Copies of this chain bind each other. A is one copy, B any other.
Amino acid sequence: MDAATVRPPEALEKYRSVLDETMRAIVPQEPRGLYDMLRYHLGWVDEKGAPVEGASAGKALRPTLCFLTCEALGAPCAHAATAAATLELVHNFSLVHDDIQDGDKERRGRPTVWSLWGVGRGVWAGNAMRVVADRALASGSPPMAQRKQAALLLTRAYLEMIEGQYQDLEFEGRGEITTGEYLEMISRKTGALILCAVELGAMAAEWDGRDGGALRLWGIHLGRAFQVRDDILGIWGNPTVTGKPIGNDIRRKKKTFPVVLAYERAQGAAKHALLEAYGSPELSEAQVERVLDVLEELEVGTASQALVERETEQALESLQRVGPLLFPWAHGQMVQLTEFLAHRDR
């Protein structure tokens, strides 16, 4: 199966308008300077605060998972709107702070918040994004006991996310990381919020949990497949589709799964080339080329996609187990989304 055969599921579009509406109701208007930074990051306004149309707003994967899970379990998607919007805001809080951490000047084809307004304001913009999300979830529509439970789930998820972010930073400064350590890290950094999206969707549907945990397993495997596919695209993604050159994550010295695997497999000259490249303060273009050659020789691209496929299969198995309990349309969308994420080209 390749990219051409897997179309994006309609679910990725279906919830956009309700998500957008809910998010816009959550982000306050005043003080404008502060919240215009949030609106800018979310693609709603330009850097002067004037409304814009068609700025890329990302895939909205987490809210889609939340809405879809809620509908699959028989509740109207509106029940999940606050949780879905909260998840997207929390995800964007982490992106605003990520960009500061990585010194990235561009995201989704536009200057990043910190690069326009400085690190200080960027830090507070990220903080504001998270607090308005917290407040929305705490005062939103579900009944009291559920809101409390939802807030706890979300808090746990972003504590894991923060711990994962930190581990990721640690790894950059370390020579050898095992693939096991790497997978453990991404299960926190990326996986925790994706799993939380499924959990909050189920909670919004007042799900009784009688699938024996199969939905959670779906979320766990999906999260892992998603991140490793991301890692693959970060190195070999088609530049005309991703807008980034081949070898981009190598140039940025990101130790993503293919590189970690290459470290594990490399010996002799290949190992030497890796150590030399990642030991340099900055990689020359020749070094980037050399690393790409080493990854090719060691076939880590193929091996990485094989891992994506295995995780995807396990996600699909979990879905199959819970299938009889789900509404057929939503179940079909979940299957299609799972396959799409494993083979997407952006």
Spell out A's residues near B (CB within 8 Å): 31, 33-34, 97, 100-102, 119-121, 123-124, 126-128, 131-132, 134-135, 138-139, 144-145, 147-148, 151-152, 155-156, 158-159, 162-163, 165-167, 169-170
Contacts and interface: CB of A to CB of B under 8 A. Distances in A.
28 contacts: A31-B163, A31-B166, A33-B170, A34-B166, A97-B124, A100-B119, A100-B120, A100-B123, A101-B121, A102-B120, A119-B119, A120-B169, A123-B123, A124-B162, A124-B166, A124-B169, A128-B159, A128-B166, A131-B158, A131-B162, A132-B159, A135-B152, A138-B152, A139-B152, A144-B145, A144-B148, A147-B148, A151-B151
How many chain copies does the complex carry? 2
A166 B165 CA distance: 25
Given A31-B163, A132-B159, A152-B138, A97 B123 contact: yes
A108 to B, nearest CB: 21
A135 B158 CA distance: 10
A165 B131 contact: no
* Prevailing SS type, chain A contact patch: helix
Given A119-B119, A148-B144, A169-B120, A162 B127 contact: yes
Contacts of A152: 135, 138-139
A134 to B, nearest CB: 5
